């Protein structure tokens, strides 16, 4: 066996495990938890009357939420409501920025929370890519959920309203309308989903859900993420991006990929260990093709490659006492490794380990160490 093959296998195994542990991966639960229900009160003109408006949003870091400007316009007061372990949490926000020209608003919590934010995809997207929208649509179920909660004040009754819903579709095209880049899709963008994320099928955000074309069947529009990134940079907001390479890794990374890395590393390490043991064991193995009594090395780099052991004792090692000269990379052989002699009375070899570092192996079994002779 080529001794380099196990080393290559160990290297690949370590790389696979490393990628699996820290590399990007598809996690549906984390994606859904990054979306939040947004409730804003709009001030109506000079009357200062408050009008409640509900929408969706998503975290780009542990304290910053993205939504639509028509959900959270300038002057509005917004909160986000989350359901965790059956308990509803209302988190106050401040409006960091509202850009009506691109319909993007940015909210900020008072402090960070323990949540995994989304990754913004800056790679290539093409027509036909599978996508899905995530958000909190206003429908009969959510309205019934709210009415039930008003009666019971049991947070579990808010589940239908605060549980994000997923709508799958296909990316139709992307184009510029005015000065804004939009993505067209047939994934549902119903009332209440505005401001939520548009995901690629592997979990990267490519757009912000914005509006539904009421004159077309199943046609919705999302603002491209390339409109959001310059605003985040301007405001010095921390966010995470992913490219085509990350998307490729997401396609196969997961628990199975981790298991593959562990198995490959284990098999390669075992193979390397056996390879070393075989080489060490062959130092003292009987070679009946040589003659009456001798040691033969198949590797031509060992000098001499054939030695008669009749009526003599051979020292195997890497210092001047050794009866052989080994390749310098054979570091598994100690300076004074083992001693080999031949007993003609019993037609057998006598092999003693001279306190070598890695041990002397014969037929796969390690010999007991003895003190080296002076």
Rounded CA separation 317/333 (Å): 6
For residue 237, is it within any domain? yes
For residue 373, is it within any domain? no
Contact 184, 142 (CB under 8 A): no
Tens-place pLDDT, residues 158-210: 666 677 888 888 998 888 888 899 999 988 777 788 899 999 988 899 999 99
Q: How large is the C-alpha radius of gyration of the chain?
A: 35
Query: Cβ contacts of residue 316 below 8 Å, gap of 6+?
Result: 283, 284, 322, 323, 324, 333, 337, 338, 339, 340
Q: Chain centroid to CA 358: how far?
A: 37
| Residue 285 confidence (pLDDT) | 44
Give the strand pairing for 220-224 and 241-242: unpaired
Q: Which of 230, 263, 278 lies at the terminal end of a domain, its last residue?
A: 278
Tokens 């001030």: give the residue: 43
| Residue 52 confidence (pLDDT) | 84
The CATH number given to whatever domain includes residue 210 is: 2.40.10.120
For residue 173, is it within any domain? yes
Contact 199, 31 (CB under 8 A): yes
| Residue 1 confidence (pLDDT) | 47
Pair 53, 100 in one domain:
yes
Tens-place pLDDT, residues 60-71: 999 999 999 999
Contact 304, 316 (CB under 8 A): no
For residue 13, is it within any domain? yes
Pair 196, 217 in one domain:
yes
Pair 331, 296 in one domain:
yes
Q: Which of 262, 278, 294 lies at the terminal end of a domain, its last residue?
A: 278
| Residue 241 confidence (pLDDT) | 94
For residue 372, is it within any domain? no
Pair 194, 182 in one domain:
yes
| Residue 147 predicted with pLDDT over 60 | no
User: What is residue 3's three-state secondary structure?
Assistant: coil
Pair 323, 248 in one domain:
no
| Residue 144 confidence (pLDDT) | 53
Pair 72, 173 in one domain:
yes
Pair 248, 127 in one domain:
yes
User: What is the pTM assigned to this prediction?
Assistant: 0.65
For residue 133, is it within any domain? yes
Q: Treating both helix axes as pointing N-terminal to C-terminal, what angle do 4-22 and 255-282 enclose, rounded to 10 degrees?
A: 160
For residue 89, is it within any domain? yes
Pair 329, 353 in one domain:
yes
Q: Which residue has the higher pLDDT, 262 or 271?
A: 262
Tokens 């009749």: give the residue: 310
The domain total for the chain is 3
Query: Cβ contacts of residue 29 below 8 Å, gap of 6+?
Result: none
> CA-CA distances (angstroms) from residue 356 to 74, 172, 309, 322, 371?
78, 69, 21, 13, 10
Rounded CA separation 232/198 (Å): 18
Q: Which of 278, 294, 316 lies at the terminal end of a domain, its last residue?
A: 278
Pair 348, 230 in one domain:
no
Nearest to 7 by CA among 258, 331, 263, 265: 265
Q: Which of 36-50, 97-111, 351-365 has the lowest mean pLDDT?
A: 36-50
Pair 259, 149 in one domain:
no
Pair 345, 217 in one domain:
no
Pair 304, 164 in one domain:
no
For residue 70, is it within any domain? yes
Q: Strands across the sheet with 336-343, in order?
A: 313-317, 336-343, 348-353
| Residue 74 predicted with pLDDT over 70 | yes
The CATH number given to whatever domain includes residue 294 is: 2.60.200.20
The H helix count followed by the E strand count for the chain is 7, 21
Mean pLDDT, the chain, whole residue set: 81
Q: Which residue has the higher pLDDT, 280 or 134?
A: 134
| Residue 313 predicted with pLDDT over 50 | yes
Range(s) of the domain holding residue 19 = 1-23+253-278
Phi-psi label, residue 103: left if phi above 0, alpha if psi -120 to 50, beta otherwise: left
């Amino acid at each position: 066996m080529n001794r380099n093959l196990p080393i290559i296998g160990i290297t690949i195994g370590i790389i696979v495990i490393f990628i699996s542990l820290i590399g990007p991966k598809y996690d549906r639960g984390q994606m859904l938890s990054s979306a939040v229900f947004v409730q804003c009160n709009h001030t109506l003109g000079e009357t200062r009357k408050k009008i409640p408006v509900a929408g969706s949003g998503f975290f780009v870091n542990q304290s910053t939420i993205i939504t639509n400007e028509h959900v959270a316009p300038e002057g509005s007061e917004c909160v986000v409501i989350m359901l965790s372990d059956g308990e509803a949490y209302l988190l106050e926000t401040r409006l960091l920025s509202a850009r009506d020209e691109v319909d993007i608003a940015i909210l900020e919590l008072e402090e960070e929370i323990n949540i995994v934010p989304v990754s913004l995809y800056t790679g290539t997207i093409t027509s036909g890519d599978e996508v899905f929208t995530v958000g909190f649509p206003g429908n009969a179920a959510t309205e019934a959920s709210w009415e039930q909660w008003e009666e019971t004040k049991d947070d579990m009754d808010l589940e239908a309203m605060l549980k994000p819903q997923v709508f799958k579709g296909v990316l139709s095209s992307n184009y510029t309308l005015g000065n804004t880049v939009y993505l067209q899709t047939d994934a549902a963008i119903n009332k209440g989903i505005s401001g939520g994320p548009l995901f690629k099928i592997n979990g990267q955000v490519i757009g912000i859900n914005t509006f539904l074309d009421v004159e077309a069947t199943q046609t919705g529009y999302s603002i491209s993420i390339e409109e959001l990134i310059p605003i985040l940079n301007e405001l010095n907001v921390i966010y995470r991006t992913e490219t085509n390479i990350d998307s490729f890794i997401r396609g196969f990374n997961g628990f199975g990929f981790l298991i593959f890395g562990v198995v490959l590393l284990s098999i390669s390490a075992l193979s390397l260990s056996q390879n070393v043991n075989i080489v060490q064991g062959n130092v003292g193995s009987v070679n009946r093709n040589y003659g009456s009594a001798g040691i033969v090395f198949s590797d031509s780099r060992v000098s001499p490659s054939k030695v008669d052991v009749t009526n003599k004792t051979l020292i195997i090692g890497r210092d001047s006492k050794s009866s052989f000269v080994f390749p310098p990379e054979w570091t598994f052989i100690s300076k004074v490794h083992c001693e080999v002699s031949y007993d003609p009375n019993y037609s057998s070899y006598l092999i003693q380990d001279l306190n070598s570092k890695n041990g002397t192996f014969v037929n796969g079994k390690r010999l007991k160490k003895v003190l080296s002779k002076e």
